[in-house]
Amino acid sequence: MSTQKSPQKSPNTNPQFDRVALIGLGLIGSSLSHAIRRGGLAKHIAGHARSERTRAKAVELRLVDSIHADPASAVKDADLVIICSPVGTYAEIGAAIRGSLKPGAILSDVGSVKQAVIRDLGPNVPDGVHFVPGHPIAGTEHSGPESGFATLFDGRWCILTPPPGTDAAATDKMIAFWRACGSQVEVMEAGHHDKTLAITSHLPHLIAYTIVGTVADLEDATQSEVIKFSASGFRDFTRIAASDPVMWRDVFLNNRDAVLEMLGRFAEDLTALQRAIRWGEGDKLEALFTRTRAIRRGIIDAKQA
Amino acid sequence: MSTQKSPQKSPNTNPQFDRVALIGLGLIGSSLSHAIRRGGLAKHIAGHARSERTRAKAVELRLVDSIHADPASAVKDADLVIICSPVGTYAEIGAAIRGSLKPGAILSDVGSVKQAVIRDLGPNVPDGVHFVPGHPIAGTEHSGPESGFATLFDGRWCILTPPPGTDAAATDKMIAFWRACGSQVEVMEAGHHDKTLAITSHLPHLIAYTIVGTVADLEDATQSEVIKFSASGFRDFTRIAASDPVMWRDVFLNNRDAVLEMLGRFAEDLTALQRAIRWGEGDKLEALFTRTRAIRRGIIDAKQA
């Protein structure tokens, strides 16, 4: 595993790629378009989106130089193809584009899970095409082509998980690309990525979705009071639980083992805390609540607060 | 239950009280001092803190006009006494001050639970003293006399839970006081407060403490990666889980039934979601993740986002 720090200044204004194809134009795809424009990183951005509405919006917002209803048409002649749609669509997209990928092109993505991506997309990568899966750790609770912005990746991490044997030059090009988009880049093994993200991202989202769902099941009068007094803690969970439903469904279905493992640990810990409350074990509660402060300090020290 | 909207402008600069006593000078007590000074709401602020360090700091920061190692001495001649220490200390404080409360004085507090406060403090309230428990829904993850600031309560809710039979004029004075501190005020029954806060505040804190504790139990190498990539969701939980350990221990011990009830519902919902992930039931996941968005919209519409 290696870490490369990215200087945030002076993005590259020489095109790194003649033609970039963005397959999917939601929050991440549209933000990538803005970041590519900002850095002058491509001469031409080709775009594909499944829905007619998104394609029309992408043209209206000038996110793309050409728009394609057929993903195979979008990737034609592209030097870099980035799949930015929910992970559950990858197998179908891979089958659709495999015959149209340009020899020497780089195929990448932005999915929140990486082993499943290699499983679904890997077999569709033709010889001579370089496969460098990626995951920018950046986002907001908003979705769709209107929600993107150029600075989304600035100062945030992007993890690349090239499978063993990937051409080092292709990986280097993707490192340079993400740095030019404003990110810091880390390269790691796909399985390690999935385990790490299961705890930093997938479990927190799962818990946030659950508690907001618990409130959604309360009677209406109670619910409106919960909303009124939400600033006392609950509010922070609702932002996370407003993230894109289809994207997150696919994350949980495609990182099942790591998520269930972390969820199991969390559930045990929650049960232990529940028992301590029931039996009035104040010392156990205070000990845990004191330990958790150290983690917060670590995040502040790492400048991630 | 009644709601009174507070105009946020022109705080009262005529003293509402000759002498206010603050029992406890942590985040809330010190913020109250700043807000009282800002509004010119008292001629004299008397303060008590249990620790010598806090008392010295309070004098140094000019939070108080007089400082008292003995709470009974602090409340002497005070027209308004506000207990701002962890809820677990109330019974002891009540016994200590009961003989020194001035006839006609108002006794209030800022505790996050209200039925237990009425249980612990109520029997110590002498005839002729008005008991108006309160809970300002405001805070940060910081603690101690240095962490307070004058605007903490601005635009936030303060809930008052006067027991049946409380003098209406005393309740009105406390409504005016909190409005002058910048808050909106709502009056409700103590049991209703405790149920509402169990879901809006206590359960979210419990869950945040749990997941941060789960991470604290991971091996060191994993933990440092979790911190590094915490911006992907986990970070939002650590802020909540950095709140004062003793205060929160006392909240859970003193609102046990309501917290266990809500925790039970949450745990059931989490188990159902776990099962859906294990069995690959994507439709169930997507349906829940879609429902939770409506709650977020409610919070945005209520201007609590």
Looking at the structure, tell me whether residues A122 and A226 fall in a common domain: no
Give the tens place of pLDDT for each residue, A211-243: 999 999 998 888 889 988 988 889 989 988 988
Q: Give me the residue from A137, A277, A292 closest to B241, CB to CB.
A: A292
Q: Which of B156, B188, B220 is the last residue of a domain?
A: B188
* Top-confidence residue, A61 or B141: A61
Q: Give me the residue from A226, A236, A252 closest to B236, CB to CB.
A: A236
Q: Give me the residue from B205, B227, B241 closest to A304, CB to CB.
A: B227
Q: What is the mean pLDDT of residues A38-63?
A: 97
Report DSSP state, residue B10.
Answer: S
Looking at the structure, tell me whether residues B220 and B173 fall in a common domain: no
A50 burial class (0-12, 13-18, 19+ CB within 10 angstroms)? middle
Q: What is the mean pLDDT of residues A262-273?
A: 96
- Taking CB atoms and an 8 Å limit, are B242 and A292 in contact across chains? yes
In a domain, B4, yes or no: no
Closest CA to A20 of A41, A49, A50, A51: A41
| Both structure tokens of B305 | 């986002």
Distance in angstroms (rounded) separating the CA atoms of residues A240 and A57: 25
Dihedral angle of Cα A266, A269, A274, A279, to the nearest 10 degrees? 180
Sign of CA dihedral A102, A108, A110, A112: positive
User: Residue B245: which CATH number?
Assistant: 1.10.3660.10
- List phi, psi (to 5°) of A17: -135, 140
Q: Give me the residue from A218, A293, A305 closest to B235, CB to CB.
A: A305
Q: Enumerate the residues of chain B whose CB falls inside 8 A of the CB of residue A290.
A: 245
Task: Pick the residue from chain B with its C-alpha nearest to A296.
Answer: B238
Distance in angstroms (rounded) separating the CA atoms of residues A160 and A6: 14
Range of the domain at A125: 2-188
- Taking CB atoms and an 8 Å limit, are A211 and B225 in contact across chains? no
Interface predicted TM-score (ipTM): 0.86
Cβ(A223)–Cβ(A215) below 8 Å: yes
Closest CA to B305 of A237, A218, A34, A61: A237
- With a CB cutoff of 8 Å and minimum separation 6, the contacts of B151 are B35, B182
- Taking CB atoms and an 8 Å limit, are B289 and A241 in contact across chains? yes
Looking at the structure, tell me whether residues A197 and A183 fall in a common domain: no
Q: Which helix (H) or strand (E) holds A93?
A: helix A90-97
In a domain, B48, yes or no: yes
- Taking CB atoms and an 8 Å limit, are B286 and A236 in contact across chains? no
- With a CB cutoff of 8 Å and minimum separation 6, the contacts of A247 are A26, A86, A87, A112, A143
Looking at the structure, tell me whether residues A115 and A211 fall in a common domain: no
Number of CB pairs < 8 Å for A and B?
302
User: Residue B41: which CATH number?
Assistant: 3.40.50.720
| Both structure tokens of B126 | 């002498």
Which residues in chain B come in under a pLDDT of 50?
Answer: 1-12
Looking at the structure, tell me whether residues A173 and A200 fall in a common domain: no
Mean pLDDT over all residues of chain A?
Answer: 92
Q: Where are the alpha helices (DSSP H) in chain B?
A: 27-39, 52-60, 71-75, 90-97, 115-121, 168-180, 190-197, 203-216, 220-228, 234-240, 245-254, 256-278, 282-301
Distance in angstroms (rounded) separating the CA atoms of residues B78 and B100: 9
Q: Enumerate the residues of chain B whose CB falls inside 8 A of the CB of residue A293.
A: 241-242, 245
Looking at the structure, tell me whether residues A197 and A184 fall in a common domain: no
Q: Are strands B17-23 and B2-4 parallel, antiparallel or unpaired?
A: unpaired
Task: Pick the residue from chain B with its C-alpha nearest to A215.
Answer: B199
Q: Enumerate the residues of chain B whose CB falls inside 8 A of the CB of residue A197.
A: 229, 232
Q: What is the pLDDT of residue B13?
A: 55
Q: Enumerate the residues of chain B whose CB falls inside 8 A of the CB of residue A273.
A: 206, 209-210, 213
Looking at the structure, tell me whether residues B22 and B66 fall in a common domain: yes
- Taking CB atoms and an 8 Å limit, are B288 and A206 in contact across chains? no
In a domain, B60, yes or no: yes
Q: Which of B188, B216, B251 is the last residue of a domain?
A: B188
Q: Enumerate the residues of chain A whose CB falls inside 8 A of the CB of residue B280.
A: 253, 256
Give the tens place of pLDDT for each residue, A66-113: 999 999 999 999 999 999 999 999 999 999 999 999 999 999 999 999
In a domain, B2, yes or no: no
pLDDT at residue A264 above 90?
yes
In a domain, B9, yes or no: no
Q: Give me the residue from A139, A265, A285 closest to B214, CB to CB.
A: A265
In a domain, B62, yes or no: yes
CA A50 to chain centre: 19
Helix (H, G, I), strand (E, B) or coil at B205: helix
Task: Tell me how far CA of residue A175 lies from CA of A16, A31, A157, B146, B295, in angstroms.
Answer: 12, 18, 11, 44, 39
The partner residues of B259 in beta bridges, in order of sequence, read: none
pLDDT at residue A64 above 90?
yes
Distance from CA of A227 to the nearest CA of B (A): 5
Looking at the structure, tell me whether residues A220 and A246 fall in a common domain: yes
Distance from CA of A180 to the nearest CA of B (A): 20
pLDDT at residue A305 above 80?
no
Looking at the structure, tell me whether residues A143 and A262 fall in a common domain: no
Looking at the structure, tell me whether residues B136 and B268 fall in a common domain: no
- Taking CB atoms and an 8 Å limit, are B212 and A292 in contact across chains? yes
Select from A192, A237, A279, A303 the residue whose CB has the most chain B CBs within 10 Å, as the one to mutate to test that interface: A237
Q: Give me the residue from B201, B226, B246 closest to A232, CB to CB.
A: B201
Distance from CA of B128 to the nearest CA of A (A): 33
Give the tens place of pLDDT for each residue, A155-172: 999 999 999 999 999 999
- Taking CB atoms and an 8 Å limit, are A277 and B252 in contact across chains? yes
pLDDT at residue A2 above 70?
no
- Taking CB atoms and an 8 Å limit, are B299 and A235 in contact across chains? yes
Helix (H, G, I), strand (E, B) or coil at A286: helix
Select from A143, A215, A283, A301 the residue whose CB has the most chain B CBs within 10 Å, as the one to mutate to test that interface: A215
Select from B137, B193, B200 the residue whose CB has the most chain A CBs within 10 Å, as the one to mutate to test that interface: B200
Q: Give me the residue from B200, B222, B282 closest to A229, CB to CB.
A: B200
Select from B197, B220, B230 the residue whose CB has the most chain A CBs within 10 Å, as the one to mutate to test that interface: B230
Q: Enumerate the residues of chain B whose CB falls inside 8 A of the CB of residue A212.
A: 292, 295-296
Q: Give me the residue from A207, A242, A296 closest to B211, CB to CB.
A: A207
Looking at the structure, tell me whether residues A52 and A172 fall in a common domain: yes
Distance from CA of A164 to the nearest CA of B (A): 22
Confidence band, pLDDT 50/70/90 cuts, at residue A13? low
Cβ(A6)–Cβ(A29) below 8 Å: no
Distance from CA of B116 to the nearest CA of A (A): 14
Q: Which of B188, B220, B251 is the last residue of a domain?
A: B188
Number of domains observed in the structure of chain A:
2
Task: Pick the residue from chain B with its C-alpha nearest to A275.
Answer: B260
| Both structure tokens of B55 | 């008392």
Distance from CA of A258 to the nearest CA of B (A): 11
Looking at the structure, tell me whether residues A217 and A147 fall in a common domain: no
Q: Give me the residue from A88, A218, A291 closest to B216, CB to CB.
A: A291
In a domain, B7, yes or no: no
Select from B270, B279, B281 the residue whose CB has the most chain A CBs within 10 Å, as the one to mutate to test that interface: B270
Q: Enumerate the residues of chain B whose CB falls inside 8 A of the CB of residue A266.
A: 210-211, 214
Q: What is the pLDDT of residue A232?
A: 85
| Both structure tokens of B203 | 């359960």
The partner residues of B57 in beta bridges, in order of sequence, read: none
